[in-house]
Amino acid sequence: MTSTHPTLVGHIGAVSGAGVSVRQSPTVDSGVAIIGGRSYRIGQVGSFVRIPQGYQNLYGIISEIGAKAIPEPLRETVNRGERWMTVQLVGEIIGASFERGVSQYPNVQDEVHLVTEEDLAQIYGSDALGQVTIGRLANAEGIPVKIDLDKLITRHCAVIGSTGSGKSTAVSSLLRSIASGSADEGGPGFPSARILLLDIHGEYGTALQEVSKTFRVNPNPGEERLDIPYWALDPTELFAFLFGRLDDRALSMILDQVLDRKVQYARTKKPQGIDVASLTVDSPLPYSLKQLWLDLIDPEVKTWDDKDRQVPALIEAGDAAQLKMPKYKLHSTNNTAPYANHIGVLGIRRQLDQMRSRMLDKEYDFLLHPGKWEPELDGSATLDISHLLASWLGHDKPLTVLDLSGIPSSVQSRLIGAILRIVYDALFWGRLKPEGGIRRPVLVVMEEAHRYLSGDAEGSARAMVQRIVKEGRKFGMGAMIVSQRPTEIDETILSQCGTFVALRLSNSSDRSKVQAALPDSLAGVVESLPILRTGEAIVLGEAARLPIRCRIALPSEKYRPSSADPEVAKNWSAKRDKEDYENLAATWRSQNPRWTSK
């Protein structure tokens, strides 16, 4: 008789929509079943059950157990000692492969069986090309969990979880698994992957060392210097940073000057692909910021020796290279010589002073003095934007880590916008080229996304990411949003993420963001988010066949991101080393955590 089959857990009592009420069989009252030498716990919320229907098997997830699972009309019978559970149908296996959705409903009194590891392997164990192993099933660690790489990238994804839930470990494990195969499975991985990681805290450089190339403002040995040439930025954005508030008239005059310089450059250097007639101020062509500064400040401070304003009352000429202001005689106030200048004055004296101090500030060297990308005073630069793209996207490693930890946080969100713009524009226009996004898709991983993708964040990062998540699919650009505060992330962006990797989330409003991405019948799965173990995640959405609770594969100790919590108790009870606060202060001043005295 079938009722003695060891995997039997109960019979269906009622069917309604996607939900099925199951009366637990008295044979499994102990709560444990031993099948094929393995013991299974029966009736765990979130675990799967199988409902055989002749040739096909329906699969469902247990969402509720106990009194609430009893169908309404039977509530009175609870004293008979019956146990009930609610199961949400999720898919079926016809023949060999698993598919979402069910083609027929089960009927009352149909048998409900426990799902064994063999069954699970059939659901999750696809060996088709393009599957990435991200970890192992939480309640059956023998089974690797694979997700669909194509969907993960083209439909975008979000990795979310409270601080300390294992987010950065999960991200680095996933990226490593993509780049070089999974840690415990081996496998070839995807050596030609192109992943750009915006690393806000500088955690990933060492964790992904041998599969990545790291760019940093203060590079360590083996890393490259991070340069973001100012002239590749949207000039409006750049001037908002350099000048602060500016009235519209002055801004448009300055933009005209920048355009003139770009046209001049295009005429003399004749870079490929530029049509002078259709050149705009946004075109990524170099111009000298130092020369622009001198040319702008001159009329502001100029005085004249004669009333017709023909003879400048110059004492000492300015010097663009040194950012030295020209010196003029002080104007008089009673309408005698020297006369104040009226020609070409924009009234931006204060703004230009701020621009100068920004240009002298070492913190902004990566942007305003970008190494070989810094143009000479005549506007010619040693390296072009093509070299920048090649260094970020064209090297031999699958991963590029842009370590933004050395960048002042006041400009971080603007710069992220600028980086995304450079990459987006290049891939968008170059989509048909062998280096473009269709032939070599790019995944952009954005750490701490709530900082620059929130509704009120300044800078263009949010607008850029909105474009990527809406249109990136068409030319091979995917986004991975990593955040601990999904509530703060712009609604449009989050709703475009097809796949969620949700780690432990305690905040209920953050949880509701994940819930919103799920059909109602599976919402129960999300309720387990606050009690996930560290490193455990629920993967749901396009890339996962089913909402999966899994343990992310843990990279070996040396490959973990350097964001592990400090060991307070251990360090507070340990004997103290010799301390030198001069060193601490010097490190602070140098703004380089790895500073050492010479």
Partner 1 sequence: MERQAVSSSNIVAVGYDEDLQLLEVEFLNGSVYQYMNVPSVVYTQLIEASSAGQFFNTHVKNAYPTQRV
Under the binding rule (CB under 8 A), the answer on residue 337 touching partner 1 is: no
Least distance between partner 1 and beta carbon 487 (Å): 33
Least distance between partner 1 and beta carbon 446 (Å): 32
Least distance between partner 1 and beta carbon 173 (Å): 48
Nearer to partner 1, 124 or 304 (CB): 304
For residues 446 and 416, the answer to whether their CB atoms sit within 8 Å is yes
Distance CA 258, CA 264 (A): 10
Measure the CA dihedral 521/522/526/531, to 10°: 110
Nearer to partner 1, 164 or 244 (CB): 244
Distance CA 393, CA 387 (A): 10
Least distance between partner 1 and beta carbon 241 (Å): 15
Of the candidate residues 247, 306, 378, 580, the single one contacting partner 1 (CB under 8 A)? 247
Q: What six digits make up the tokens of 449?
A: 């996304």
Under the binding rule (CB under 8 A), the answer on residue 185 touching partner 1 is: no
Under the binding rule (CB under 8 A), the answer on residue 294 touching partner 1 is: no
Under the binding rule (CB under 8 A), the answer on residue 272 touching partner 1 is: no
Least distance between partner 1 and beta carbon 290 (Å): 21
- Alpha helices (H) in 506-567, listed in sequence order: 508-516, 523-526
For residues 419 and 198, the answer to whether their CB atoms sit within 8 Å is yes
Nearer to partner 1, 331 or 431 (CB): 331
Map residue 44 onto helix, strand or coil. coil
- Around 54, how many Cα atoms within 13 Å sit in the side-chain half-sphere? 5
| Window contacting partner 1 (CB under 8 A); options: 121-129, 263-271, 327-335, 578-586 | 327-335
CA distance to 160, 534, 583, per residue, from 167 (Å): 7, 9, 32
Find, among 555, 522, 548, 507, the residue nearest to 175 by Cα.
555
Under the binding rule (CB under 8 A), the answer on residue 242 touching partner 1 is: no
Touching partner 1, residues 369-398 (CB under 8 A): none
For residues 24 and 11, the answer to whether their CB atoms sit within 8 Å is no
Distance CA 230, CA 258 (A): 12
Of the candidate residues 335, 571, 596, 597, the single one contacting partner 1 (CB under 8 A)? 335
Rounded to 5 degrees, what angle do the CA atoms 264, 265, 271 make? 135
Under the binding rule (CB under 8 A), the answer on residue 124 touching partner 1 is: no
Under the binding rule (CB under 8 A), the answer on residue 255 touching partner 1 is: no
Least distance between partner 1 and beta carbon 297 (Å): 11
For residues 262 and 279, the answer to whether their CB atoms sit within 8 Å is yes
Of the candidate residues 255, 340, 377, 389, the single one contacting partner 1 (CB under 8 A)? 340
Under the binding rule (CB under 8 A), the answer on residue 252 touching partner 1 is: no
Q: Draw the binding track, 36-65, toward partner 1 (x: CB under 8 A; -: no contact).
A: ------------------------------
CA distance to 42, 75, 246, per residue, from 80 (Å): 20, 10, 79
Under the binding rule (CB under 8 A), the answer on residue 503 touching partner 1 is: no
Least distance between partner 1 and beta carbon 321 (Å): 25
Given strand 399-403, what is the order of strands in its sheet? 140-148, 131-137, 548-552, 536-541, 499-502, 157-160, 477-483, 442-446, 195-199, 399-403, 212-216, 224-225
Under the binding rule (CB under 8 A), the answer on residue 241 touching partner 1 is: no
Of the candidate residues 73, 127, 245, 577, the single one contacting partner 1 (CB under 8 A)? 245
Chain length of the chain: 598
Find, among 160, 93, 87, 109, the residue nearest to 2 by Cα.
109
Nearer to partner 1, 79 or 335 (CB): 335
Under the binding rule (CB under 8 A), the answer on residue 333 touching partner 1 is: yes
Least distance between partner 1 and beta carbon 350 (Å): 5
| Window contacting partner 1 (CB under 8 A); options: 6-14, 238-246, 409-417, 588-596 | 238-246
Burial of 416 (0-12, 13-18, 19+ CB in 10 A): buried
Nearer to partner 1, 307 or 324 (CB): 307
Return all residues near 154 (Cβ < 8 A) that are at least 6 apart. Answer: 441, 472, 473, 476, 478
Least distance between partner 1 and beta carbon 252 (Å): 15
| Window contacting partner 1 (CB under 8 A); options: 26-34, 245-253, 269-277, 320-328 | 245-253
Nearer to partner 1, 353 or 527 (CB): 353
Nearer to partner 1, 331 or 387 (CB): 331
Nearer to partner 1, 100 or 349 (CB): 349
Under the binding rule (CB under 8 A), the answer on residue 341 touching partner 1 is: yes
Least distance between partner 1 and beta carbon 352 (Å): 10
Provide the CA 64 distance to its chain's centre, in angstroms. 34
Nearer to partner 1, 2 or 334 (CB): 334
- Alpha helices (H) in 321-408, listed in sequence order: 349-360, 365-368, 385-393
Map residue 252 onto helix, strand or coil. helix
Least distance between partner 1 and beta carbon 357 (Å): 16
Q: Draw the binding track, 345-364, toward partner 1 (x: CB under 8 A; -: no contact).
A: xxxxxx--------------
Under the binding rule (CB under 8 A), the answer on residue 300 touching partner 1 is: yes
| Window contacting partner 1 (CB under 8 A); options: 77-85, 243-251, 383-391, 476-484 | 243-251
Under the binding rule (CB under 8 A), the answer on residue 331 touching partner 1 is: yes
Distance CA 513, CA 519 (A): 12
Looking at the DSSP bridge assignments, the partners of residue 14 are 21
Binding residues for partner 1, how many (CB under 8 A)? Answer: 20
Least distance between partner 1 and beta carbon 345 (Å): 4
Under the binding rule (CB under 8 A), the answer on residue 298 touching partner 1 is: no
Under the binding rule (CB under 8 A), the answer on residue 296 touching partner 1 is: no
Q: b/e string for 513-542 if b means 16 or more Cβ within 10 A?
A: bbbebbeebbebbbebbeebeebbbbbbbb
Nearer to partner 1, 36 or 347 (CB): 347
Find, among 150, 152, 54, the residue nearest to 103 by Cα.
54
Residue numbers at the binding site for partner 1 (CB under 8 A): 244-247, 300, 331-335, 339-342, 345-350
